[in-house]
Amino acid sequence: MISQFFVLSQRGDNIVFRDYRGDIQKGSAEIFFRKVKFWKEDGKEEAPPVFNLDGVNYIHVKVVGLLFVATTRNNLPPSLVLELLQRVARVIKDYLGVLSEESLRKNFVLVYELLDEVIDFGYVQTTSTELLKSYIFNEPIVVDAGRLPSLGPAALFMQGTTRMPGTAVTKSVVAHEPGGRKREEIFVDVIEKISVTFSSSGYILTSEIDGTIQMKSYLSGNPEIRVAFNDDLTIGRGGKSIYDYSGSSGSGAVILDDCNFHESVHLDSFDVDRTLSLVPPDGEFPVMNYRITQEFKPPFRINTLIEESGNYKAEVILKIRAEFPSSVTANTIVIEMPLPTYTARVNFELEPGAVGQRTDFKESNKRLEWSLKKIVGESEHTLRMKLTFPQELHGNIIKEAGPVSMTFTIPMYNPSRLQVKYLQIAKKTKTYNPYRWVRYVTQANSYVARI
């Protein structure tokens, strides 16, 4: 059971607060935010998702820049509470359409009504958007999504303030179009988070894909739908290479290490023709989660060169090459690189005509940050740095710098080559408005290159 639930803004403002049991002192939200903002324990810059302070367990997740927090004095399974916080965020987004500080403030009555139905005296009752419809009576106040940063379904899986590119799924599942019409649409996102570690010579040491097929349904009447994947999709290691392009679909073999499905999915024909049948519940939900640990072609290559140019100076060349097609564009790219602790000053030199790039030297933790607004496929970008030291060099500068880490988002690209071939509605009506496309999104979970 949890004692409190609250949502804080990036500034620490208390947007939503509910005390269920009254066994934790007042001001816990302020205590939590002060501890998280100035976290310096264990040599880490950010607070872990779970920590204990004065006998109180604080458990939190970051969702599109907002902190969703639960407190308890009981020894609860942390993964249970973390999952609860993610589901509460998803339910609120289903009803508000857009999850942001403004939408929460404008709909605080609806949010509190949802919380009272989801959690009772600290115990979870339900997190189903569909079941909650019978108990929720307030109408959402729609926030104009055009004035807000676009928030897609994938944004719920991102930690921090980085946000996903735009999507049309920014309206409440209980709101109607002007004129009282019901939106008869369904949206599918294939979201893949990749983790790759490169050696100093550029070889791949570890690689993994954590994928989710996310769906959001606006269909009335709960019709049955069928979703088809690649014909040559394989579950479990069967000895085939992921680079085998002999599949009948022409997209190459897709080999999943393991996967799991939403409770509404029926697998009667999955082993035969790789199709799923389900009756989608209202709101946003993961149809399928999967994991791939076999080597795949990484979207970026990172090369670093460090040379000493005197007793008090060194030069660093950082090169990023996009390995995906030129028709695809990555955005919100951030490259970080720890520098030697005795670095006093850094001079940056960008490419001639560079647009949408920003460099910064975080002197407090001696870290380089290079941000690029976008990178077009098959392009290459280089950053040169001149490091200045206050004293003569001691030790090996290469061992004291790095590794290079990278975060990014690539719309309409997935390295696993998993495809949704088609989505069929069993009983079609004239009101349904199907689209012949699925949105693919790739983002970095852990993308590291050693120096």
> Structural domains in the chain?
4-147 (3.30.450.60), 178-185+206-289+417-441 (2.60.40.1170), 300-411 (2.60.40.1170)
Taking the model in full, what pTM does it have? 0.78
Residue 161 has pLDDT above 60, yes or no: no
pLDDT at 33 over 50: yes
| pLDDT of 246 strictly over 50 | no
pLDDT-above-90 percentage for the chain? 50
Give Cβ neighbours of residue 147 (< 8 Å, ≥ 6 apart): none
Cα dihedral across residues 143, 145, 146, 147: positive or negative: positive
Report the range of poorest mean pLDDT among 58-62, 135-139, 299-303: 135-139
CB 57 within 8 A of CB 24: no
Tell me the per-residue pLDDT of 96-123, one tens digit each, with 9 for 90 and over: 988 999 999 999 999 999 999 999 999 9
Asked if omega into 403 is within 30° of 0 (cis), the reply is yes
Q: Is 114 helix (H, G, I), strand (E, B) or coil?
A: helix
pLDDT of residue 144: 67
pLDDT at 250: 39
Nearest to 319 by CA among 401, 439, 404: 404
Task: Please state which of the ranges 135-149, 203-217, 344-358, 364-378 shows the lowest mean pLDDT.
Answer: 135-149
Predicted local confidence at residue 61, as pLDDT: 95
91 confidence band (pLDDT: 50, 70, 90): very high
Q: What pLDDT is attached to residue 180?
A: 55
Tally Cβ neighbours within 10 Å of residue 132. Answer: 21
* 3-state SS, one letter per residue, for 255-323: EECEEEECCCEECCCHHHHCEEEECCCCEEEEEEEEEECCCCCCCEEEEEEEEECCCCEEEEEEEEEEC
Instruction: Indicate the pairing of strand 186-198 with strand 56-63.
Output: unpaired
Tokens of 406: 């990278």
Confidence check: pLDDT of 29 > 80: yes
How many angstroms separate the CA atoms of 286 and 298, rounded? 25
Residue 142: its pLDDT value, please?
A: 79
Mean pLDDT of 333-341: 91
Average pLDDT of the residues of the chain? 84
Tens-digit pLDDT profile for residues 265-309: 999 888 888 999 999 888 888 999 999 998 889 999 999 988 887
Q: How many whole angstroms separate alpha carbon 271 and alpha carbon 250?
A: 20
Letter string b/e over residues 45-70, b meaning 16 or more CB atoms within 10 A of that residue's CB: eebebebeeeebbbbbbbbbbbbbbb
Give the pLDDT confidence score for residue 311 in this predicted structure: 73
